[in-house]
Structure 1
């Protein structure tokens, strides 16, 4: 058990709050002004973790905060008083979140064991607007870079091979049968692979779902990976976002494909490191009798 004295955990709290404030300032300003951003708002609208929740600092399992009377954690769920400190009640957390722990651990481990695939070229975003009227696309306020017919032609001239259910489920009805795979929620552990941009972004989802057992430092590392991936995702999408400073990755060309795949490989490396840390955090919660049942 690592023990942090009061000056240290207060320092870490302040550093975390400053990190989150910098990451969320633009979104909070836009939300106040009733403005939207097709790239930067995604992590706050698609995922369920609120900026206020992200800002709350958690040390993670295996850390005791000394000076219990001064710590706000003593009033928070899954924390317990222990001697002159506050720490996560791992048994209570494992009992309450056992199903989530099992699912996430299995998904992360099985994903990490597979080779990454780097030939999808972000065509999932193109399949989400395939044969739609321009007024019906998700980001209708932004033009399609190649127009509607040009966008459809890109989809039709490529093999779409999306392995991620939460991307595939947004395909247009006409695009669904064009995909080489038919991912489902049930098949997610069998299909997820580390080259997938959405699997990398979802590391943030799995991290925040396991708060407070997962430390806030790890949650923010996953957030920052998801933010960086989202930028590539939309640069490679069919939308023209140059007005917002996003130079397109032209995946309809050989040069654009190479640029996309190189960036995808880099994100895969970062994602694999975070997967390992998340599995380690889950295993820190597993206690005695639960150990066997929480491992696939």
Structure 2
């Protein structure tokens, strides 16, 4: 796994020291720079992203739930530098990116997602998004919701955009957990340029513990980021709790994912300052203890059996058939 790179204060601005010149052959920094320091349980430690030389905090922010510009800018002041202009490209999020980029572009890690099933449309889609957002380039193109490894056409369009300076690196999200070890193996063999894998993981959806995490190498693998930490708010909803249980805090939902040694970063989707605070408090609080983890997993197992996911993961079919998981109606 990527190594930690120091322990800044939660209010310290991100450091850009991780940006290193790329080698001409592969466009990645010299691998001898990477993973020299031990992984730490201190959630305030920063981590290096794959082979990129980029360094990030352990909470990133997605744009879907429309946190205000001020919330995003304040989070940057508190150490968040990974901004994912993703599923819903909210204008306030774009404004925050523009404002921060004026003085801090080298400290930001910007990602734009494409769900396109036709790689021939991706370049125009990304250029339109950049123009609408008022920014010139991003660090990562994220291929969204891929159930199979990308075919050569996706890599070709990425390389074209990379060579033009539109994007620098490649990432991928998937709801097909059993497919992801194939990409991990391809990464180990140098057969894919993907440097971030993004997948669902929370106390309800724990399938990655079986299907993905055992295949993540201790060093040299892709950066692993997770999302849907609150399970669309179910874990923090009093109405959905089993009898006798109080809701989980948003803070502890983030701590749950970050406590797994295979997880490098959690992408949060705050709608307001209070929700952003919950995510950042997770960094200060640190890993769950055994009792906290047991409680979250007990509640998670209940929710898994009672409430179907908004979007199912491939890999859950056996649990649905066994009655452990609630399937789609």
Question: With structure 1 as the length reference, what TM-score do the two structures score?
Answer: 0.28
Flag the structure with larger Rg: 1
Question: Which of the pair is proportionally richer in strand?
Answer: 2
Q: Which has the higher contact order (CA 8 A, sep 6+)?
A: 1
- TM-score, normalization by structure 2: 0.26
